[in-house]
Amino acid sequence: MPEPAITRDEVEHLAHLARIALTDAELDHLAPQLAQILESVAVVSAAVGDVELTANPVPLSNVFRDDKTKPGLTAEEALAGAPAVEQQRFSVPRILGEEP
């Protein structure tokens, strides 16, 4: 089990990964709370048993759809909720980095 304590710097890094521009006050407030929560959830490490991992309890496999097209949204419907639209496309602020 890793050391559950989480530092303010780590919270800042995680917030960046999660694209949340936390304020300094929030970082001060959140870091100790998260440390406390992590300490509490760390009890999972005590669970023992040689078992498979369960990602989803549903007892299903091989759920497919046939390769058939069906009508989706019109461009107008698709763009209706967009903050900005140009040339029938979603207008987004400038993108800095290349696609990972």
The residue among 28 and 59 lying less far from other proteins, judged by its C-beta, is 59
For the chain, the C-alpha Rg in angstroms (whole number) is 22
In the complex, what is the shortest distance from the CB of residue 72 to other proteins, in angstroms, rounded to a whole number? 3
| CA angle 5–30–55, rounded 5-degree value | 70
Residue 83 half-sphere exposure toward CB, CA atoms < 13 A: 3
CB of 4 to other proteins, least distance (A): 9
Q: How far is the CB of 15 from other proteins (least distance, A)?
A: 6
Distance in angstroms (rounded) separating the CA atoms of residues 83 and 100 = 25
**Of residues 28 and 36, the one with the C-beta less far from other proteins:** 36
